[in-house]
Structure 1
Amino acid sequence: MCEEAGKWQHLRLLLFSVSISLQLGSGFAADPSSSKDGTKSDSHSNSGASTGVIVLYICLGIAAVISLAIFLLKLWKKKKREEQHARLLKLFEEDDELEVELGLRD
């Protein structure tokens, strides 16, 4: 159940990041220099396409960072689990040696 809640939390974070990047992208689309004189230049017509590309790059970058963070978290959890398993095995090995030393087992 906790894992499912974590997935929803990651999805909410991703959607929040995408919405923020879209808000920033729409803010970059407004060209204050052309709005002052009231005329549109040829370069302004291409700014919509370049803004879309910028938003796409931002979304891809955010998705890559989130994917990397999830991968590193899973890798860390796996390493932690292996360390705990090794510690548990070592604990049982020490108990066996102790039993042999005490003559409880041959």
Structure 2
Amino acid sequence: MESDSMDLKVRELLKEVTLNYSPTLTKHVNDTISAIKDTIDKIPDELKVTTDEAPSFVRDIGADKVKFKFKKPASIEIGGSYAIQCIVKPDTNVDLFIRLPKVLV
């Protein structure tokens, strides 16, 4: 009897914290990831990044005298808790795994 009560409490708690992976949510996440990938794909390869384009980033990493060239990621994939459908509320995050091209490794 007590075990049934505990099971019921756990099931009710899980209903409150488990994210509903509805088709609407999945479409929204996939559309957002596609928009991010499309935006990155529009950046010209070998684009020279100077302190004018990213002053705070360059300053924060202490590289004000270095010139950067943009290289597109080898891949961008959804990972983490969203990928295995175990996100809990209230904070909903989607992790992206961005693989750098071999020329940078």
TM-score, normalised by the number of residues in structure 2: 0.34
Greater C-alpha Rg:
1
Q: TM-score, normalised by structure 1?
A: 0.33
